[in-house]
Chain A
Amino acid sequence: MLLSITNIQRFSTHDGPGVRTTVFFQGCPLRCAWCHNPETQSGCPMLFYVAGRCIGCGACVKACPNGAHSMHPFGRTGRHDYDATLCKGCFRCTEACPAKAVEPVSRMLDPVEIMEIVLKDKVFYGEKGGITLSGGEPLLQAGGCLELLRLAKDNGLNTVVETAGHFDATHLAPIAALTDLFLWDFKDGNAKRHKEYTGVSNALILKNLRAADALGSKILLRSMLAKGINLEEEHLHSLAETASGLKHCIGVELLSYHPYGGSKSEQMGLGDNGRKDWIPSAEEMRLAGETLHRLMRPGIREPE
């Protein structure tokens, strides 16, 4: 079994407890307008082109059978244009590029191979740390997740799964049995807006969330707030209500929107889609945290 992985990041200190290695899966059923990792959305092979690394040697132009790369002395990036719509994902260019200016967004890796990398840092994990599956939506590759979690448990590692919750419910029970903590994204409590900004309804997400809770899974809810979108009372109420209704929710974490995805999107030849006007101020984030805390049942950890 091969998994499509965009990155394996060692010494992650904010993707669950302790020191962790985070495995980023490619592919996501959501199309959030604010996506921080747009490279993980599509399930298809894609390229990153980093203009700053390009030395203008033209090796990619020669290698590409589809004309996705071209040299323009006065082009958009200075000397080299990459048109993602022409790319068929053959990766001849990434092999030819000496400077790693074009790189595949993801690699196909075997779970055993992934676990070998994860286990390299076992000495740093201690009792709390371990592996985090993130993405993208890891549960789009549920079989692979299950295999990785099994290997992690065989090796005594703590396991965290970060999910947006929009996945086939039949996968939940086996995954939950091997997961010590879910970091569960709660995008928006307003159903209509959820559909508008993420492309899917929040019904399945909430259903899976409650099912996971019924299975006894520990859950940390996470919600990214964007000004003018979900940074408002209704969403915070819904978040508090949802969290309060879960028996095993250990806390709610509020994250602030930043146009991180913008430059990544640019590197993928898709143009910068970052929105500076969505960034909440520190004060707005603080107030949102206070509101949430006031509305939640006692016992749930104060948002960070």
Chain B
Amino acid sequence: MSLESPWNRMSLESPYKHMILESPWNRIHREPGGNNLEFYTAFNEKRPIRLNAQTREFAWESLHGRYGEESLRTPVVAVDDIIGFERMTEYGKYDAAIARIAEMAPIRICEFETVSGAATLGGAIDHVVPAFWRGGKLWDSVSHVTLGFGKVLETGIDGIAQELILRLADPALGAPQIEILESMRNTIGALRVWHKRYLEALARVKPAIHGNLIHVPFKPARHFHEAVQSLWFVFAFERLCGNWPGIGRIDEMLGGFLKRDLASGVLTLDEAREILAGFFIKGCEWIRRDIPEDCGDAHHYQNIVLSGMDVDGQDVTNEVTYLVLDIVEELGIGDFPVSVRIGGNTPEKLLTRMAEVIRHGGGIVAAYNEPLILKSLTEFGYSTAEARRFANDGCWEVQVPGKTHFGYYPFDSLKILLNDTLGLNGTPALFDDFGSLYAKYLADLKRAVEGIYRDTVRDRTGQLPGADWHWRTAIPCSAVSMLTEGCIESGLSYLGGGARYNVMSPHIGGAPDAGNSLYAIHKLVFEERKVSFSGLMAILQSNWEGQEALRQYVLNQYTYYGNDHDEADAFTCNVLNDFAGIVAELKGRCPILFPAGVSTFGRQIEWAPFRTAVPFGRRKGDILSSNTSPTPGTDSAGATAMIRSYCKADLSRQANGAALDVKLHHTAVQGENGVESLVALLKGFVALGGFFLQPDVVDATVLRLAQANPEDYKTLSVRVSGWNARFVTLGPEWQEMVIERTAQGV
């Protein structure tokens, strides 16, 4: 749970973990013997082709791991030979290491690239600063942050350098502040070195695009191609230094440049698409050939947020918005998860384009409910202008980009119920009525949340909440600090409290499982009195052994969260709302912001062995609910019912976010009506007050899994012939038919 362990977080945290396991992006089919590149889709129609053959070839190579493999051959640079390295201060070492990276990292210029710069040190893929001393790492790097790339385009890096010079002229600065500010200047110096190496190489190797890198990223971008180059170059430098930043609102940043170029006629939309595609393809340069069998590789939180309103309340949607969707639709690139801010004013055309991309599967495009999130953020305490800027940290946790230091603390609310409240890991508790059971559970939940808060504050400051405030010294991270608002002004680093907002969010996991458990106890013990409280506890401790009839009864005769059943949904919604209330009480005790959030990402898998059997009939070790989604196998009323259940909680109180995963089979979203149905789901999700929707369209592999584990796939809808039905309700021969049809891509 500690923030200092990004090694662990890397393997745990991808929100797309689920997606990767079920809809492998890298299983891209190349037609034998042909030049015809076919990018994988779960849909029954091929992906449209708009890009030229060279760009598609480039994408093919990148997605197949050519560049990732190359990077692994040069994992890190060594700093052993730097004279006096051992005696340097920590910042001195950092600056020397970054300088060494800039000087030594291999230069890579690809034949068909439209923008240059490459994060060629493979060690960065492992979330460290890829400069090693005596064969070992020096520092972890930073992720879960979206940097201030907009500023790079507007003022250029020179603008930031100028700001640093002015700030350093302040005689009131202390020595630690000066060291931090100087380190940012040195990092910019390293960027200049790296830039110069690329300019020289480009002049030789690829003079056609050399001109686009002369002014940027140091001067403000003047046109679209320069803007994309500038954004890419700085993003690539951050990744070269080991960091994994999110991109943020790319259409807002680039839209104006494109509009001007289109108006003046220097660029066509098709040309712009090729240029921008280069950005996305280069973003796949960390994909390795052999995919590690875990949560998939190459998802380094390079999140993109599209559309929504700007600071003045105007709709941001522009040609870049649509170009991004064109590109991910054609190439099936899932490495830049795209989240679209939708609301009442979202153009119909944009919703339709989202649906068309979603149909191809993989869950690349997700949706934020903008009106609810703006309400949530302003109620939490952000100004209206700041709230309107929201993007995310690289997953989907909402934050103000370029100004926020972010971390989150996931915990298992089901385990708290099972162990702390019910005592199933030791001597079971005894409750006479549901009210006293729930009160005890909330007290246990409160103790856990307060513990997280105390530990978070102590980790950062070495003090308890409420004491005199100062940040603990953190590891250097000047490459991140220089693009985070607040760091130059305060003379503090990103990790050392310099950001405008320091956000640490407790994330509740397993809430639907806790809600379902409470509901089953309420029904079985207190309402129907089918078994005594202590009787049920004994049954759970023996993992439902010898109690199959009763287990089947609780599994099948009760309706659980996710089926639009008010009585059952209330239990999960109460857990979520009461958790938000507990978190809200901690507000204002120190400058660390502490918004509530909901997530498991993939943790429901690793939590499973540490949970006992649960009251709603699942045995020890079963994999239960993800994020705010229903427990697998308990939902059977379809996607609309699931969305309605989820929206019954007051999700605006989860200011950091609460995701719902919805899986659909491609047959359910086939044809014109399929697109309209997806659009209707998105609109309903907004109207009902959802927060973040991750729709996914699934393929034959998933259907095979569904055949083997029908309990886990009850809501998977398939088109049968002239109608649709849930896959697991089909007879075996029909399942075979649907699978065969899917596999053939008919």
Contact = CB atoms under 8 A, between A and B. Distances in A.
A262 to B, nearest CB: 6
Contacts of B557: 98, 100
B548 interface: yes
Kindly name the residue among A14, A59, A123 whose own CB sees the greatest number of chain B CB atoms within 10 A. A14
A256 B556 CA distance: 34
Contacts of B548: 55, 57
Nearest to A264: B731
Interface in A248-304: 253, 255-256, 258-260, 262-264, 266, 274, 276, 282, 304
Given A10-B641, A260-B730, A304 B671 contact: yes
Kindly name the residue among A9, A123, A125, A264 whose own CB sees the greatest number of chain B CB atoms within 10 A. A123
A277 B557 CA distance: 40
Interface residues of A, number: 43
Given A17-B676, A55-B549, A262 B684 contact: no
Contacts of B731: 260, 262-264, 266, 274
A14 B670 CA distance: 9
A120 B549 CA distance: 33
Contact of A9 (B638, B677, B684, B730): B638
Given A120-B641, A263-B731, A22 B684 contact: no
B733 A259 contact: yes
A263 B734 contact: yes
B668 A13 contact: yes
A124 B640 contact: yes
B549 A9 contact: no
B52 interface: no
Contacts of A125: 680
Given A98-B557, A120-B564, A13 B674 contact: yes
Interface in B284-318: none
Interface stretch (B265-273, B451-459, B470-478, B715-723): B715-723
Contacts of A262: 731, 733
Contact of A59 (B549, B644, B721): B549
B449 interface: no
B549 A17 contact: no
A18 B733 contact: no
A171 B457 CA distance: 73
Contacts of A239: none
B550 A98 contact: yes
A99 interface: yes
Contact of B549 (A13, A57, A222): A57
A258 B724 CA distance: 14
B488 interface: no
Interface in B664-693: 668-671, 673-674, 676-677, 679-681, 683-684, 687-688
Contact of B681 (A19, A222, A255, A258): A19
B172 interface: no
Interface string A98-124: 111000000000000000000011011
A276 B719 CA distance: 19
A304 B674 CA distance: 13
B553 interface: yes
A15 interface: yes
Contacts of B2: none
A161 B638 CA distance: 22
A129 B638 contact: no
Given A14-B719, A19-B640, A123-B684, A9 B676 contact: no
B734 A255 contact: no
A55 B556 CA distance: 13
Contacts of A134: 723
A10 B732 CA distance: 23
B724 A263 contact: no
Contact of A123 (B556, B688, B723): B688
A124 B683 contact: yes
A222 B641 CA distance: 29
A123 B687 contact: yes
Nearest to B672: A17
Interface string B563-607: 010000000000000000000000000000000000000000000
B680 A124 contact: yes
B549 to A, nearest CB: 5
B698 interface: no
A123 B733 CA distance: 35
B724 A12 contact: yes
SS of B interface (majority): helix
Contacts of B638: 9-11
A209 B337 CA distance: 51
Contacts of B191: none
B169 interface: no
B552 A99 contact: yes
Contacts of A304: 671
Kindly name the residue among A19, A59, A259, A282 whose own CB sees the greatest number of chain B CB atoms within 10 A. A19
Contacts of B722: 14, 222, 224, 253, 255
Contacts of B331: none
A126 interface: yes
A72 interface: no
A128 interface: yes
Nearest to B681: A124
Contacts of B674: 13
B723 A260 contact: no
Contacts of A129: 677, 680
A57 B639 CA distance: 33
A59 B719 CA distance: 36
B564 to A, nearest CB: 6
B746 interface: yes
A8 to B, nearest CB: 9
A123 B732 CA distance: 34
B323 to A, nearest CB: 28
A147 to B, nearest CB: 23
Contacts of B12: none
Kindly name the residue among A10, A255, A282 whose own CB sees the greatest number of chain B CB atoms within 10 A. A10
A13 B669 contact: yes
Given A18-B673, A57-B549, A258-B737, A121 B640 contact: yes
A18 B723 contact: no
B566 to A, nearest CB: 10
Interface string A215-259: 000000010100000000000000000000000000001011011
Contacts of A10: 637-638, 640-641
B725 interface: yes
A255 B639 CA distance: 25
Interface string B607-642: 000000000000000000000000000000111110
Contacts of B687: 123
A196 to B, nearest CB: 23
A61 to B, nearest CB: 13
A98 B549 contact: yes
Contacts of B681: 11, 19, 124
Contacts of A123: 683-684, 687-688
Contacts of B688: 123
A284 to B, nearest CB: 13
Contacts of A120: 564, 640-641, 644
Nearest to B554: A98
Contact of B556 (A100, A121, A255): A100
Query: Which 5 interchain pairs have the tightest Cβ spacing?
Result: A263-B731, A99-B552, A98-B553, A124-B684, A11-B638
Given A18-B676, A19-B681, 9 more contacts: A98-B549, A121-B640, A121-B644, A123-B687, A134-B723, A258-B721, A259-B733, A266-B731, A304-B671
8 contacts: A13-B668, A14-B724, A99-B549, A121-B684, A126-B680, A256-B721, A258-B734, A263-B734
Interface of A: 9-15, 17-19, 22, 36, 55, 57, 59, 98-100, 120-121, 123-126, 128-129, 134, 222, 224, 253, 255-256, 258-260, 262-264, 266, 274, 276, 282, 304
Interface of B: 548-550, 552-553, 555-557, 564, 637-641, 644, 668-671, 673-674, 676-677, 679-681, 683-684, 687-688, 717, 719-725, 730-734, 737, 746
